[in-house]
Amino acid sequence: MSQLSTLPGPDATASGPGDPVTPVVGRAREVELLVAALDSGAHVVLEGPPGTGKTTLLRAVAEQAHSAFVFVEGNAELTPARLIGHFDPAQVLEHGYGPETFVDGPLVEALRLGALLYVEEVNRIPEETLNVLITVMSEGELHVPRLGRVAAARDFRLVAAMNPFDAVGTARISSAVYDRVCRITMGYQGADDEAAIVDLKAPDLDGGWRTRVVALVRSTRGHTDVRVGSSVRGAIDLTRLAVSLARRRGVAATDWHVGLDAALVALSGRIRLTESCTRTPEAVVRELYEAQFGAEPTPDTDDDTDDDSDDEGGGAPGGA
């Protein structure tokens, strides 16, 4: 059975019956570890492949603690100035340098508010920007020229996320960073948990068909020609695409051809093939699709499948 935890939603100001909730599926252990680490005063790095719920997990924990949340997208353009902030040139000309003319960047904002500063893809940011974060984690304060000292409010915490399997446009995180953080690794959830996630994002679909979609997506992670498989986001998009395509074509969402087209669109760009593979991503996706849903039905089989789907309320298509 999947684990479904519920935490207060983004509009909540206090816990209590009837509060909106943010679902966190299959992450009870990670929630516990992250809450304990933050409560102890530690900064944290979350490591895991894309689509494992790192951002969802942290947002939910911030909501539970009613803590301010500041998000920073990590990339090569994240300079120290963009992270820290800057003086407004027009205001400086009129009033000079001072706190009233300084525009807070996300780091200074988080320091002042005592917020959770979430830095996504931390291994993509420049080294000089990373050094600023190291200083803040070590000293609990930041010194800005012409502005002075900005001390971290009591509840300030830094949480960084990274995909350790992506080598394109990334840099190796130094031991100086790891020495200042606690590390929580996050792998893919189990099949039941991923099916529950898809059900949350695309409900009211045939449960058996949805389970096979999840199995299809999970199979991309173990194929010999695939270096990096799809996350559960592929299953969510595949399901939504199938519903939209089926509506346009006037057939059931479980139609074999609808499912194949949805799989090709949703998954072919998400998988990364090995360098030695001479096949196309579309060929690999079709192979995996047929392994889950059977070979392409003949016209006679299509007719029989449509009749069966009408009788049973839209079950899995024939040929599976």
Distances (CA, A) of 121 to 10, 142, 242, 260: 23, 22, 31, 32
**Is the pLDDT score of 302 beyond 60?**
no
Contacts of 79 (CB under 8 A, 6+ apart): 126, 128, 129
- Paired with 103 in beta bridges are 86
Q: Phi then psi for 40, rounded to 5 degrees?
A: -80, -5
pLDDT of residue 10: 32
pLDDT of residue 79: 95
Q: Please identify, among 163, 185, 207, the residue that sits at the C-terminal boundary of a domain.
A: 185
- Range in 127-136, 143-152, 204-213 the model is least confident about: 204-213
CATH code for position 40 = 3.40.50.300
Tokens of 79: 């300079």
Evaluate whether residue 317 is within a structural domain.
no
C-alpha R_g of the chain: 24
Task: Specify if 319 maps to a domain.
Answer: no
108 and 154, same structural domain?
yes
Per the structure, the complete domain to which residue 275 belongs is given by 191-312
Residues 253 and 273 both lie in one domain: yes
Provide the domain count of the chain: 2
Q: How confident is the model at residue 166 (pLDDT cuts 50, 70, 90)?
A: low
Residue 293 lies in a domain: yes
3-state secondary structure of 104: strand
Minimum mean pLDDT range among 50-64, 85-99, 111-125, 301-315: 301-315
Do residues 56 and 7 make contact, with C-beta atoms less than 8 angstroms apart?
no
197 and 277 inside one domain: yes
Of the residues 185, 211, 226, which one is the last residue of a structural domain?
Answer: 185
| pLDDT tens-digit series, residues 13-38 | 233 333 344 568 888 899 999 999 99
- In tens, the pLDDT along 59-109 reads 888 888 888 999 999 999 999 999 999 999 999 999 999 999 999 999 999
Domain holding 195: CATH number? 1.10.8
Q: Cβ neighbours of residue 265 under 8 Å, at least 6 residues apart?
A: 237, 241
Residue 67: CB atoms within 10 A of its CB come to 16
Domain membership flag for residue 34? yes
Report the pLDDT averaged over residues 212-220: 97
H helices present in 114-153, as ranges: 127-139
Asked whether residue 50 falls in the same domain as residue 177, the answer is yes
Say whether both 155 and 198 belong to one domain. no
* The last residue of a domain, from among 148, 168, 185: 185
Task: Answer yes or no: are the C-beta atoms of 92 and 137 closer than 8 Å.
Answer: no
- Considering the domain architecture, whether residues 167 and 207 belong to the same structural domain is answered as no
**15 and 116 belong to one structural domain:** yes
Shared domain check, 201 and 146:
no
Q: In this structure, are 283 and 246 located in the same domain?
A: yes
In a shared domain, residues 198 and 160: no
pLDDT digits (tens, 9 = 90+) for 172-193: 677 888 899 999 999 999 999 9
